């Protein structure tokens, strides 16, 4: 049975063409600065996003951490959403390794931080307070692209108070493809990040590379990040092997994100017609559903038994990507319909099995 893996867009396997590009990559020792493919990737993404410089790193978490500790110093603080990846899901790295205090702010339903909350959280210069240095936003947020006028207003507010700005753009190109609406996604990406001092992009999510993220920003910022990357043990040698996958992804896997978005809509529309669950949000390549009567865990198990993987408990998350096709989405819809067509008691055994969750 083939598996329809909708847990995340990180589960993609490199395509044959991507593997060929990797095997053909010109390599060198990147700690000596000798790897031409790494330079090509960094220069390409910096130029593409309108920033001075870029740094290829191992993961989105490392990229965000490098941004935080390169913008801030010991005793500084950064503002981020209560549910932002760089606050909640990165092990507290900035506090542990940078002695930087996070100031989490409530996240609105659309992923934005209210401008009044941002302004209210910026501390006066006073020995009682940490020094507020940085505003971090995330785009896409749970699959939802943030509006351009919001990004402009939030970055302007930050600048007005002397704060730097960082965008966690793990899925920046999903936001770009959605914003471009058929136009040039690269231009859309450049526009989204235009007012940010730094941006982190994951190559290993919807873009389909096996490993890697890129941090982009000013030359001075990237020099600091380069130093910290070495300190964190992130200096890698013939890593052009991986950078080649990223270059291939930027050339071939950006415009096609529209296909993932269309499949997410197909899934959301199908799910919306099923009694027993409701679609909470469905933007770009991520669909969230709420399952009635706490049956989420049992539904997940029912799907897994049919080779369909998703994540969540009360609310389930389905993510489309390069390795999912329309047949997989239709199989998913059929399996969900089958689940809700059966009487509740039919799942009793599965429910008991799911209890430890």
Ligand X SMILES: *Cc1c(COP(=O)(O)O)cnc(C)c1O
CB of 202 to ligand X, least distance (A): 5
Quick one: 107 or 204, whose CB is closer to ligand X?
204
The binding track of 213-242 with respect to ligand X, each residue x by CB under 6 A or -, is x-----------------------------
Q: Spell out the alpha helix ranges (H) of 126-281.
A: 148-160, 172-180, 185-193, 219-231, 240-252, 257-272
Structure token digits, residue 5: 């893996």
202 binds ligand X (CB under 6 A): yes
Residue 107 beta carbon to ligand X: minimum distance, rounded to whole angstroms: 12
Which of 90, 9, 2, 1 lies closest to 311, judged by CA? Answer: 9
Query: For tokens 């096996």, what's the residue?
Result: 210
Q: Is 185 helix (H, G, I), strand (E, B) or coil?
A: helix
Neighbours of 284 (CB within 10 A): 28
Q: Which residues pair with 213 in a beta bridge?
A: 57, 202
Are 274 and 339 within 8 A, CB to CB?
A: no
Burial class (CB in 10 A: 0-12, 13-18, 19+), 153: middle
Q: How far is the CB of 139 from ligand X (least distance, A)?
A: 8
Q: By C-beta, is 61 or 70 nearer to ligand X? A: 61
- Cβ atoms < 10 Å from Cβ of 311: 13
Give me the residue whose beta carbon is nearest to ligand X. 60
Single out the residue of 35, 138, 260, 301 in contact with ligand X (rule: CB under 6 A).
138
Task: For the CB of residue 166, give the shortest distance to ligand X in the complex, in Å.
Answer: 11
Looking only at residues 24 through 63 of this chain, which bind ligand X when binding is defined by CB under 6 A? 59-61
Q: Tell me the closest approach of the beta carbon of residue 140 to ligand X, in angstroms.
A: 8
Q: Smallest gap, in angstroms, from Cβ of residue 64 to ligand X?
A: 6
Task: Compare residues 283 and 339 and give the one whose CB is closer to ligand X.
Answer: 283
**Residue 9 vs 77, nearer CB to ligand X:** 9
| Positions in the binding site for ligand X (CB under 6 A) | 59-61, 64, 85, 138, 168, 170, 202, 204, 213
């Amino acid at each position: 049975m083939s598996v329809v893996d909708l847990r995340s867009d990180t589960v993609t396997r490199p395509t044959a063409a991507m593997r060929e590009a990797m095997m053909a990559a010109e390599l060198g020792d990147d700690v000596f600065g000798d790897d031409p493919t790494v330079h090509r990737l960094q220069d390409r993404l910096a130029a593409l996003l309108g920033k001075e410089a870029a740094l290829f790193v191992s993961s989105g978490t490392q990229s965000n951490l490098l941004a935080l500790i390169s913008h801030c110093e010991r005793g500084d603080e950064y503002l981020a959403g209560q549910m932002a990846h760089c606050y909640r899901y990165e092990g507290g790295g900035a506090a542990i390794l940078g002695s930087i205090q996070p100031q989490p702010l409530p996240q609105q339903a659309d992923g934005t931080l209210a401008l009044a909350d941002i302004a209210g959280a910026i501390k006066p210069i006073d020995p009682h307070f940490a020094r507020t240095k940085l505003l971090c936003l995330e785009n896409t947020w749970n699959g939802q692209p943030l509006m351009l006028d919001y990004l402009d207003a939030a970055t302007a507010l930050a600048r007005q108070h002397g704060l730097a700005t960082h965008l966690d753009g793990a899925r920046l190109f999903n936001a770009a493809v959605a914003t471009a609406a058929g136009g040039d996604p690269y231009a859309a990406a450049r526009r989204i990040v235009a007012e940010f001092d730094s941006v982190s992009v994951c190559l290993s999510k919807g873009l389909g590379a096996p490993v890697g993220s890129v941090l982009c920003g000013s030359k001075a910022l990237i020099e600091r990040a380069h130093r910290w990357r070495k300190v964190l043990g992130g200096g890698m040698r013939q890593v052009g092997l991986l950078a080649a996958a990223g270059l291939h992804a930027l050339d071939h896997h950006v415009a096609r994100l529209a296909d993932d978005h269309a499949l997410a809509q197909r899934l959301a529309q199908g799910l919306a017609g099923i009694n027993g669950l409701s679609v909470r949000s469905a933007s770009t390549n991520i669909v969230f559903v709420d399952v009635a009567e706490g049956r989420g865990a049992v539904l997940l198990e029912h799907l897994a038994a049919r080779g369909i993987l998703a994540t969540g408990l009360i609310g389930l998350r389905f993510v489309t990507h390069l390795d999912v096709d329309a047949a997989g989405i239709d199989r998913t819809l059929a399996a969900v319909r089958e689940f809700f067509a059966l009487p509740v008691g039919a799942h009793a055994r599965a429910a008991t099995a799911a209890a430890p969750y």
